[in-house]
Amino acid sequence: MKGAVAFFGAVVMLERLLRNLEGRCRVRPYDRVVIGCSGGADSVALSFLLARLASSFPLRLHLAHLDHALRPDSAVDADFVSGMAERLHLPFHHARIEVNRVRRRGENLEAAARRVRRDFLRQVADEVGAEHVALAHHRLDQAETILFRLVRGAGTNGLTGMAWCDPPFIRPLLDIHPDSLRTWLRREGLSWREDPSNADLNLSRNRLRHEVLPRLEAINSGAVDHLVAFGERMAVDETFWSEQVDAWLARELCEREGAREVAATALGRCPRALRMRIWLRLLRLAAGRQVDLTQAHLEACDRLLDGASQSDCHLPGLWVGRRYDRILVAVRAPEPPGCWQVELSGPGSLRLPGGALLRAEIASEAGRLTPNQAAFDLSSLEFPLVVRNRRPGDRFRPEGGAGERKLKDVFIDARVPREKRDALPLLLSGEHILWVAGFRRSSLFCPVRGEKVLILTLEPAIKA
């Protein structure tokens, strides 16, 4: 027996479980709890322990099992858990999903199985109205997780390990060693299933458990305890940093057209420790879920602050872009619109691709115009007018400028983001660009006192 392992009798085990449920997992009497049960020793122990708490801490329990279809005899595990549910008089929920068939491109088997399993458990919880999904992760799992994340290059946030409570998931066995659980099962005369894949050293987590951790414990018998304690200290620190990130984002974050957006200068002024945590939160907010990111991914994002004024960083399932002083984070990069062109034959309204509305009216004078309006001498215009998006080589004579220039250079000088350039409609009379709608008019065909004018108004598309 390793020095770090303590064995508990039935009463002590139940007392510890109850303390963890009420405290760290925030479970209340009569809450509905779905237990994820593979049939292995850890989840069998969790199932029986929770059921035996009924007299002192009543819960509405459900047992759920997912057959990953990874072994020919996997159905035997499902039958075993079904028998457990019958013995414990618990509702049983079961599904079979061929994980190999639903793996995403570039996703390893372990990650795919975990994703599918968690989705299944969430679905069961939603169907039965459960407040919690109980998982059987234990103390050794926690040490492995911290070590695994460390060798993969996780930041300090990842070194906190698994959370006791990560709604809807709870982990009430996190401070109990698996040897204690197995000893308790044997004393209670309870059996479990052994998954042969747990001994497969081709799986990285198994190599950590069977090869790396034993060597660490040979150096220091308290290695597992020290790893777990390290994670707990990191969790305390990260609670503080999380509050700092919340406060910063409350001041700086805005959302526009599906992207999270902050000022590059404001982010760059943050101390590095805070800045890297802000990056992580931005990426998770944009993804709408937990994302598998390493410190290298965060460093790649951070380099945008010192890079070109318009640059991009592509991460797994995410895009980060710098557009002058704005940092944008989204699931995917904005797609440039295809070439389009429509004609305006006279006064009236014209719906443009993308949803914006262009209104044209004839008036005796221009009057006071808004930034989304422009007026031109009517007699100088060549109808039909053309409205289109920009093309390579477009040239423009901006009002107040020193002559004709490349439109691209005008945009760059005005620090117009690349995606916005493609979205701005251009109004042309013949070969002349008269107005970059919503941005700037040209010096051509200005209103003449006493002559009729054509007033154009751009009404931006209404976003759903």
Mean pLDDT of 46-56: 93
350: Cα separation from own chain's centroid: 39
Q: What is the DSSP letter of 43?
A: H
Per-domain boundaries in the chain: 10-231, 253-330, 341-459
SS3 49: helix
What percent of the chain shows pLDDT beyond 70? Answer: 96
CB 260 within 8 A of CB 253: yes
d(CA 107, CA 200): 19
d(CA 438, CA 304): 29
Instruction: Provide the CATH number for the domain formed by 253-330 in this structure.
Output: 3.30.465.60
DSSP sequence for 98-150: -HHHHPPTT--HHHHHHHHHHHHHHHHHHHHT-SEEE----HHHHHHHHHHHH
- Residue-wise pLDDT for 302-347, tens only, equals 999 998 788 889 888 889 999 889 999 998 876 666 788 999 988 9
| Domain 341-459, classified CATH 3.50.40.10, yes or no | yes
Residue 240, pLDDT above cutoff 60: yes
d(CA 34, CA 91): 10
CB 277 within 8 A of CB 291: no
Question: Are domains 253-330 and 341-459 of this chain identical in fold?
Answer: no
- Residue-wise pLDDT for 100-150, tens only, equals 898 887 788 888 899 999 999 999 999 999 999 999 999 999 999 999 999
> Which CATH class name applies to 10-231?
alpha beta
Helices 178-187/41-52 angle, 10° precision: 60
Tokens coding 257: 């057209």
Query: Of 152-156, 168-172, 208-212, 290-294, which gets the smallest average pLDDT?
Result: 290-294
Q: What is the four-CA torsion angle of 173, 175, 180, 181, rounded to 10 degrees?
A: 10
Cite the DSSP H helix spans in 188-263. 204-207, 213-219, 223-252
| pTM value surpassing 0.95 | no
- HEC sequence for 271-334: CHHHHHHHHHHHHHHHHCCCCCCCHHHHHHHHHHHHCCCEEEEEECCEEEEEECCEEEEECCCC
Query: Of 132-136, 234-238, 391-395, 398-402, which gets the smallest average pLDDT?
Result: 398-402
In this predicted structure, what is the pLDDT of residue 3? 41
